[in-house]
Structure 1
Amino acid sequence: MSVDRDVVRGRIVAAASELLATGGPDAVTTRAVATAAGVQAPTIYRLFGDKDGLLESVADTVFAEYVDAKQVGHETDPIRELQDSFLAHIRFGTRNPGLTAFFADPLRPRSATEEKGIAVLRQRVHRVALAGRLRIPEERAVALIRAIGNGTVLALIESPEPERDSPLVENSWEALAAILLTDAADRADQQTRAAALRLRADDTALAALSPAERMLMREWLDRIAGA
């Protein structure tokens, strides 16, 4: 791709990003983007194929910057890191309502950038499991965090910013933490499940077993954890 082509593509994506931020996906029409970017409509079709292709590029560009900033730490407290990540997701979603509306379409295939973001979340949940603080299986925890996080964002952006229920974010995290996390006051059965999930997550500890034994051990640990 030539430099000029890169420049034009970047200008189109920037114009579409602004329209998406201010008016949502419906505002990103070929005509509006072409006018804002100072190009002819056929240029957009040539570079992006159609409106959906343009929206995908815009979403990937904006979301990639957010995902790239979500580094998983190894010295930080895994619970604090998970909470901070949850709150950051809420902030990003409410500040980018147009992008949120685009991502909310359940029939749209996930992009590689979205998959990368989910992979980061899995790493954070895995760290909580290794710390012996996870109450439910990792994949279920990831699904629950995404469901509550995305639902909270959608509930917030339904209202104008001055009218939003600000305690909803804190309440959402508290409800999520009560389901996800164990503490010292938990009953013995909950602590046993957390220990099973911790061992299941510990690849180093299970490395002494053969692949078949690891598969069987994880099946047993899933049963203990009530997966």
Structure 2
Amino acid sequence: MSTRTRILEATAELLANSPTGEVSTRAICQAAGVGQPVLYRQFGDKAGLLAAVVDYGFEQYLEAKRARVPSADPVADLREGWDGHIEFALAHKSFYRLMYSTSSTSAPTAGAEAFRLLERTLERCAAAGRLRVPPVVGARMVMSANVGVALMLITRPENFDDPELSHRVRDAVHARILSEPASAPSAIAPVAAHLNALLAASPSTALTEVETALLRDWLTRLAD
């Protein structure tokens, strides 16, 4: 393990176990087995260290996401993505609490990537005619619920001890944003979302840019 990684992991562990959410650089250096000049040479200052800890946590999370090969069933991929998120949170509690801390002053680039990966899965659901809402709306709903459940399981285990809680919330959110395979011509919302996703992926040459934008605006309203 490199010196940088050792410092990052020691910082995350100390912060997670701190009753005040604060920890001194001296304590971090002692836990990592390095001198303070090494810490400042690596990260500049304490703020730089904390930002690096959050980025490191997101990078660990994204490694598995990037490596996953999409299956032929985007809905199954969406379910697996939720479960994988919870598994990561429970296996890396120290980093996870920092990744989604309300005290964070900036959103890491990796956090935006995590959202975009989720949105792409939902775009595939829309292209398959399985999404009731626009992909970005579905991504916001899924991520906020996924993160909320994970944080409750980590920070309030005495109150959130139902082993089926994650699956119950997952299924409830998915039921709101997903539809059954279209079989009735009156299923307007999923059809609109489907067509919107297809237009985004492959714009029609029969329409001007303005016409396409107007059509996509109408489809977004019908899908919402």
Please indicate the TM-score interval, normalised by the length of the shorter structure. 0.7 to 0.9
**Structure 2: any 5+ residue segments left out of the alignment?**
none
Aligned to 2:96: 100
Aligned to 1:212: 210
How far did 1:210 drift? 2.7
Deviation string for 1:81-130 (max 9, x for gaps)?
Answer: 00000111111122223323222316532111111111111111111111
**Structure 1: any 5+ residue segments left out of the alignment?**
1-5
Match of 1:49 among 44, 59, 67: 44
Whether 1:16 and 2:16 are equivalent positions in the alignment is no
Match of 1:86 among 68, 82, 86: 82
How far did 1:164 drift? 1.6
Q: How many angstroms apart in 1 are the aligned matches of 2:222 and 2:42? A: 53
Q: How many angstroms apart in 1 are the aligned matches of 2:221 and 2:15? A: 46
Letter in 1 for 2:221: R
Contact 1:199 1:205 in 2 (8 A): no
Q: TM-score, normalized by length of structure 2?
A: 0.85
CA-atom RMSD in angstroms: 2.7
Q: How many residues align?
A: 220
User: Sequence identity, in percent?
Assistant: 32
Structure 1 residues 118 and 185 mapped into 2: Cα distance closer, same or farther (>3 Å)? closer
Q: Greater shift after overlay, 213-222 or 33-42?
A: 33-42
**Larger relative helix fraction:** 1
Aligned to 2:29: 34
Q: How many angstroms apart in 2 are the aligned matches of 1:127 and 1:88? A: 19
Match of 2:118 among 100, 113, 121: 121
How far did 1:149 drift? 0.5
Match of 1:200 among 196, 201, 222: 196
Q: How many angstroms apart in 1 are the aligned matches of 2:106 and 2:148? A: 19
Secondary structure (helix, strand or coil) at the match of 1:105 reads: coil
How far did 1:56 drift? 1.9
Q: How many angstroms apart in 2 are the aligned matches of 1:106 and 1:174? A: 30
Letter in 1 for 2:192: A
Contact 1:24 1:99 in 2 (8 A): no
Structure 1 residues 88 and 133 mapped into 2: Cα distance closer, same or farther (>3 Å)? same
Q: How many angstroms apart in 2 are the aligned matches of 1:186 and 1:25? A: 55
Aligned to 2:165: 168
